[in-house]
Structure 1
Amino acid sequence: MTFNEGARLDPSQGEDRRGRGSTAGKGRGAKVGLGLGGGIVVLIGALLGINPDLLTALIGDTGNQPAIEASNGSALESCRTGQDANERLDCRILGTANSLNSFWPGYLDQYGVGYSLPKTVIFSGSVSTACGAASSAVGPFYCPGDNNAYFDPDFFAQLETQFGSSGGPLAQEYVVAHEFGHHIQNLTGTIGKAQQGPKGSQSAAVRTELQADCYAGIWMRYASSQPAPGSNQPFLKPLTQNDLNDALSAASSVGDDRIQKAATGRTNPESWTHGSSEQRQKWLYKGYQSTDMAACDTFSVPKV
């Protein structure tokens, strides 16, 4: 979905850590960081013994790269309008976060759940968090230890060129919405289930990720009708079928089976932690269709 050009963005909801060292989280106990799926390649490598050179070719050797200097210093400060979000990826990440922060409080209120704003952190190369240090290779992720969602804009190019996603705006906005889905899980108390039980296509880890996809689908349905704060105009223009196809393409591109196939030439459902391409598309669309948080209860169904 594209942004309404006159929509007003709120840079205070983001933090730009590009071009400066990050020390947040040093010395704290490590907690679990939950990501979209890019980091699963590294995990698969550890489990299956893939040649590290192959992993470098798939996800890029970003772990030892220095942080890239952001243009205009703290570039997010210049993200002010929907037009900026349409023209610049970092502003689109911020604008999507603004939309999510506008939507979720009212929606959760009907379930008796309070909403706290997560910080949206833009970084490059590597970043230190309350969940530990992370490189760009892990992809976008949410850290429940500090309630921050972390995004390296370079990932979105990898999503398209290396994982085969379409490059439409909603493909990128879905990524942000998925990470915010983990924040919703943190607020509702389900996020801890991700570490329960073994891995596999029906595991708690997979069900956690699919629930975050489902929550992203709920936001997608309402995003173009929810007015921005202080305005009668939504952040985003009405969703089209092409937009929906872009989001489903992105969900498919980060399926465990697709990433495993690219990395090893085969799939191993017993090691899945995020879900197959089919599962991810199914639950994203389920949230979009149902608009019901209860329908996203991936933990209560016999099979996801």
Structure 2
Amino acid sequence: MARQARLGGGDPAREQCHLAAPGADVRRVVLTAVAATATVVALAGCSRVVTGEAVSIYADPFAVAGLPATDGPSGPRPDAPRAMLSIHGANGSDADALASSAISDLSAFWSTEYPAVFAGNFRPVTDLASWDPNVDGTGRFCGESTYGVVNAGYCTRDGSIGWDRTILLPTLTDTFGPMAVVMVIAHEYGHAIQHDSGLAGADSPTLVLEQQADCFAGAYMRYVAAGESNRFTLNTSDGLNAVMAAMVAVRDTDPSDPEAVHGNAFERITAFQTGFTLGARGCTEIDEAEVADRRAQLPRVFTQSGESGDMPVTEQSVGMIVDSLNTVFGLTQPPNVVYSGADTGCPDAAATEPVSYCPATRTIGVSMPELSDRGTPRDVGAAGGDVDELAVDIRGDFSAFGLVASRYALAVQQQDGYPLTEPSTALHTACLTGVWTASTAAGGTPALSPGDLDEAVSGLLTDGLMASDVDGETVPSGFARVDAYRAGVLGGPDVCTNRYG
């Protein structure tokens, strides 16, 4: 967060081929489609996953866009037949086999989905390419050398899809599991659907096309999660969480960069969740006006080039956050804040590090050293950085301030008479935290900075304390946690009450 934030940014230039620039260093990822890796870091001791029966008729806290929150396998079905596709440059690697199976499954999905959404006949993608970016002079894709191209892409010139089988796909599999690779291929297939259907116009902004492709990937992933795929399975707890974490890792990190044409983590996850919830037809509603409306008050450039907008996490800055929360929610009995530790000896709630809420005393307890550590940025990369440095554990000041806001949200629920230890409480907490987040985007002090939403999404996926009840208990689905937070950011307090109250 920052003391001020300004809006801005221009339309990115259209690109002919959605992949890395030719000649790029082999260890660099220039993200123009979907490509990157990450390390999912679970922060121990902050929240606990609980199971049980649904308690909300309107919004089942154990549901994922209408599907049950399930565990179990995620990845290729053991009995799935090997896809026999012609792939230029393929060498029979496991990565090529996985990508080939994904192409075959996507063709099956779109063979029924395409005529239900678009006019005309569906044409499966058959022009495929695989390459080793370490080898110079042997591979070509979209008319360019693939040397140094650690990426996957769709080529608008000839309608082909290609991928790096040596670095990108194996690392994605090792880090997130094989369904992260399938998600990447689904995104690229989404570009093919755009162009064949005419959804992609000559003047369509690249950002809109990328958001649509993320959305189409989400629609396909629901097909898999619903058990309709003959080749893959996807559970809706840690399996879907890992797929979404991969999307966090391929976010745009500096919205003022002219090459930032895909969206930040919040935007990419929003598009993905739209497809997962509404299906492919919902993705056709993503256009320039819809994206602009979603972005309306959210910051898109840093205050100065290269600045993150982070404030030091101190007692003074935490006090500023609490003052802001007091203004937004206007509680008749706002909570007190103590800085001597998260464990305040509360008689009716467990201590949650690094910040907790005690209903009996209406006190927020803060362990300042731990909270400050949570709000300290990690020296990791993202799209456009070294593939080995990418991480989904994105930290900054909002990683800390969002936790303070979430404990304050429990005080809001307490005053309104809601229970503080139900599964729905966790999602209500995330939603109200989103409401406060949106208020900081409207200006004033503090003000939302571009990286803050990404830090929030990261925390919701990797830890969940921001979406937990008074005892720190959360729900299994990172999708549900992020969706609740997003509802508060984009929908406001009435949405929180209607869904989770």
Q: Give the TM-score range, shorter chain.
A: 0.5 to 0.7
Give distance in 2, aligned partners of 1:127 and 1:151: 11
2:273 is matched with 285
Q: Residues 114 and 187 of structure 1 are in contact (CA less than 8 Å); yes or no, is this contact kept in structure 2?
A: no
Relative distance call for 1:118 and 1:295 in structure 2 (3 A) is closer
Give distance in 2, aligned partners of 1:9 and 1:134: 26
2:82 is the alignment partner of 1:92: no
1:286 deviates by 1.2
Q: Residues 142 and 148 of structure 1 are in contact (CA less than 8 Å); yes or no, is this contact kept in structure 2?
A: yes
Q: Which amino acid aligns with 2:239?
A: D
Give distance in 2, aligned partners of 1:279 and 1:115: 28
Relative distance call for 1:89 and 1:279 in structure 2 (3 A) is same
Q: Residues 251 and 268 of structure 2 are in contact (CA less than 8 Å); yes or no, is this contact kept in structure 1?
A: yes
1:147 is matched with 159
Q: Which contiguous aligned blocks of 4+ residues in structure 1 show a shift greater than 4 angstroms?
A: 157-161, 224-228
Give distance in 1, aligned partners of 2:227 and 2:157: 29
Relative distance call for 1:160 and 1:95 in structure 2 (3 A) is closer
1:100-120 Cα deviation digits (max 9, x unpaired): 011101111112342112133
Give distance in 2, aligned partners of 1:183 and 1:296: 14
1:156 is matched with 169
Relative distance call for 1:270 and 1:148 in structure 2 (3 A) is closer
2:82 is matched with 9
Which residue, out of 251, 258, 281, partners 1:255? 251
Q: Residues 224 and 235 of structure 1 are in contact (CA less than 8 Å); yes or no, is this contact kept in structure 2?
A: no
1:45-124 mapped onto 2 (5 Å cutoff): 70=91, 75=92, 88-111=94-117, 112-119=119-126, 120-124=128-132
1:171 is matched with 180
1:16 deviates by 4.0
1:165-204 mapped onto 2 (5 Å cutoff): 166-193=175-202, 204=205
2:281 is the alignment partner of 1:268: no
Relative distance call for 1:93 and 1:192 in structure 2 (3 A) is same
2:390 is matched with none
Q: Which amino acid aligns with 1:101?
A: S
Give distance in 1, aligned partners of 2:293 and 2:185: 26
1:297 deviates by 2.6
SS at match of 1:110: helix
TM-score scaled by length of structure 1: 0.62
1:139-166 Cα deviation digits (max 9, x unpaired): 10101222211011221355589xxxx4
Q: Residues 174 and 247 of structure 1 are in contact (CA less than 8 Å); yes or no, is this contact kept in structure 2?
A: yes
Give distance in 1, aligned partners of 2:234 and 2:266: 26
SS at match of 1:115: coil
Q: Residues 217 and 286 of structure 1 are in contact (CA less than 8 Å); yes or no, is this contact kept in structure 2?
A: yes
CA RMSD of aligned residues (A): 2.6
Unaligned runs of 5+ in 1: 19-69, 77-87, 197-203, 229-233, 261-266
SS at match of 2:139: strand
1:25-66 Cα deviation digits (max 9, x unpaired): xxxxxxxxxxxxxxxxxxxxxxxxxxxxxxxxxxxxxxxxxx
1:245 deviates by 1.0
Q: Which amino acid aligns with 1:180?
A: Y
TM-score scaled by length of structure 2: 0.39
Relative distance call for 1:15 and 1:157 in structure 2 (3 A) is closer
Q: Residues 255 and 280 of structure 1 are in contact (CA less than 8 Å); yes or no, is this contact kept in structure 2?
A: yes
Q: Residues 159 and 253 of structure 1 are in contact (CA less than 8 Å); yes or no, is this contact kept in structure 2?
A: no
2:238 is the alignment partner of 1:242: yes
Q: Residues 110 and 122 of structure 2 are in contact (CA less than 8 Å); yes or no, is this contact kept in structure 1?
A: yes
SS at match of 1:121: strand
2:220 is the alignment partner of 1:211: no
Q: Residues 131 and 146 of structure 2 are in contact (CA less than 8 Å); yes or no, is this contact kept in structure 1?
A: no
Relative distance call for 1:160 and 1:7 in structure 2 (3 A) is closer
Of structures 1 and 2, the larger Rg is shown by 2
Identity of aligned residues (%): 21
SS at match of 1:141: strand
1:192-235 Cα deviation digits (max 9, x unpaired): 44x65xxxxxxx1111101000000000011255766xxxxx21
Give distance in 2, aligned partners of 1:158 and 1:5: 21
1:44 is matched with none
More helix by percentage: 1
Q: Residues 124 and 152 of structure 1 are in contact (CA less than 8 Å); yes or no, is this contact kept in structure 2?
A: yes
SS at match of 2:79: coil
Relative distance call for 1:183 and 1:136 in structure 2 (3 A) is farther
Unaligned runs of 5+ in 2: 1-73, 295-501
